[in-house]
Amino acid sequence: MFIGYVVGESTTSSANVLMKNKVREGSYVTLEYEDVKALGLLTSLTVGSDVVDKDINDVILLDDLAKVNRDRIPKFVKGKIKLLVDLNGLRRIDLPPPPLTEVRLATDEELKAVYSRGNLSIGKVLGSNVPATIDINGLTRHMAILAATGAGKSNTVAVLSTRLAELGATVVIFDYHGEYSSLNTKRLNLIEPKLNPLKFSTKEFATLLNIRENAHIQYRILRRAFDDVKGEITNQLKSGKFDLKNVQENLKNLFLEKINNQATKEKDNDKSLAEVKNKIEEFFDEYGDFIDVNLEDVMDLISSARVNVVDLSPLDEDVMDAIVSHYLRRFLTSRKEHKRTGKGFKYPLLTVIEEAHVLLSKDRNTLTKHWAAKIAREGRKFGVILTVVSQRPKGLDENILSQTLNKIILRLVEPTDKKYVLETSDNLTEDLVQGLSSFNPGEALVIGPSVKLPMMVKIDKYEGNLAGKDPNLMEEWNRAKEEELIGKEALEW
């Protein structure tokens, strides 16, 4: 379909079009000139009128103009085009389109040549029926899925992870809200967030108890007690003396005993001793049910070629941090071991961290941040891929965000979020970011090594259950009203 003509100045990366037929922002267009057949993206539209100019100062004249048939007032629609690639040989464009070049809407065939070459389809190229694909090997450069709330991040994670698992990928989702446990796939492996403190590092265990490293005395007391307990339990387990029926109680008492044993050494630090004991008691009271001293290694819980979902929803943020970082540490060390000795986890892993601004916050040092940053730096070599998901990109650690080279960006409205994403993405440009505010749910811009050229896509709707769906408020309130009525009737009766 003919859209209009190139006007004004063009470069090899951008051109302006004066439009005859309107199409929406985000449409793909083609321009043919000389021996170039350029594919471009319409990044912004402007509507105006030379007659009703912004410098008009005569409002009476406008009164009169408004009375005539408005359709007869000359108007123009101008568009900005980002030039992407020369479709002849998929080369870089090396010649700007001259004025009067005709601009057409790109055909499905033209879009297919660029966007259907990957090995995993995630939706349709925006405004077309062309499969929008990504190249899986590009994922080793990690990924960020970013968008305002309700724009379709979880839907994207569901589509991506189930399709990847069908291809044989091992995916591990850290499920902040418990919304992926009902994924509709045979390839689902649900993992309870069980933990074996004896396999934790002192730092991980201290985080679990909410003892910060700068609380030096408490940290020291805990470290000693933790070493003693580890030693004693390992021996008891070996000799079969440990009472597995009362694990929580036994473990708690053992910790308290080992802390009490330090009374002489720490005689000036009564308060710190009491504080650590208090934290141990609180932890076991609240999280005792999650303890499993028989759990040898969390890697044993991960099934290959599955979507493994670790439900974090019952946990508070410190416990989440300890558990997620423990997993991440094991992912990396286990894959390193596999590369070195052939032992360890056999297959590449793709891990998804939901609500990443919490555990990978730019303002807070968490253990998860330490290990996620390490994976972002080194994971590629060992086949550990990081995917961060966030509705608050500007709250994310800058280091990590700039190393997730693949980005799926759905509707993003907040200017500071957009600016931050722009600053942390080498392959993103301002013209692309502008249009993000007007996306509908599921519409996204994909950039990075997995797509090579920026791809506008309508992500497929996940055909299955996701517990995080938008609630239907009217329906739920009606149900509440009905239940109340039923209750009342029962009382009256």
Ligand X SMILES: Nc1ncnc2c1ncn2[C@@H]1O[C@H](COP(=O)(O)OP(=O)(O)OP(=O)(O)O)[C@@H](O)[C@H]1O
Site residue total, Mg ion (CB under 5 A): 3
312 in contact with ligand X (CB under 6 A): no
Instruction: Give the one residue of 30, 154, 218, 361 binding Mg ion; rule: CB under 5 A.
Output: 154
The CA-based angle 286-289-290, given to 5 degrees, is 95
CB-based closest residue to Mg ion: 154
Q: How far is the CB of 5 from ligand X (least distance, A)?
A: 35
- What does 4 bind: Mg ion, ligand X, none (CB cut-off 5 to 8 Å by kind)? none
- What does 366 bind: Mg ion, ligand X, none (CB cut-off 5 to 8 Å by kind)? none
Site residue total, ligand X (CB under 6 A): 16
153 in contact with Mg ion (CB under 5 A): yes
461 in contact with ligand X (CB under 6 A): yes
325 in contact with Mg ion (CB under 5 A): no
149 in contact with ligand X (CB under 6 A): yes
CB-based closest residue to ligand X: 442
CB 321 within 8 A of CB 210: no
152 in contact with ligand X (CB under 6 A): yes
Q: How far is the CB of 146 from ligand X (least distance, A)?
A: 9
468 in contact with ligand X (CB under 6 A): yes
474 in contact with ligand X (CB under 6 A): no
Termini Cα distance of the chain: 70
User: Is the CB of 181 or the CB of 202 nearer to ligand X?
Assistant: 181
Q: How far is the CB of 479 from ligand X (least distance, A)?
A: 18
Rounded CA gap, 286 and 469, in Å?
Answer: 29
Stretch that binds ligand X, among 43-51, 55-63, 145-153, 298-306 (CB under 6 A): 145-153
129 in contact with ligand X (CB under 6 A): no
Stretch that binds Mg ion, among 90-98, 103-111, 148-156, 480-488 (CB under 5 A): 148-156
Half-sphere exposure of 414 (CA within 13 A, CB side): 15
User: Is the CB of 195 or the CB of 401 nearer to Mg ion?
Assistant: 401
Stretch that binds ligand X, among 43-51, 93-101, 142-150, 160-168 (CB under 6 A): 142-150
Residues in the chain, overall count: 493
User: Is the CB of 81 or the CB of 130 nearer to ligand X?
Assistant: 130
155 in contact with Mg ion (CB under 5 A): no
154 in contact with ligand X (CB under 6 A): yes
Stretch that binds ligand X, among 76-84, 216-224, 230-238, 462-470 (CB under 6 A): 462-470
473 in contact with ligand X (CB under 6 A): no
User: Is the CB of 149 or the CB of 239 nearer to ligand X?
Assistant: 149
- What does 223 bind: Mg ion, ligand X, none (CB cut-off 5 to 8 Å by kind)? none
178 in contact with ligand X (CB under 6 A): no
Rounded CA gap, 138 and 478, in Å?
Answer: 48
Contact positions toward ligand X, by CB under 6 A? 147, 149-155, 391, 441-442, 459, 461, 468-470
Contact positions toward Mg ion, by CB under 5 A? 153-154, 468
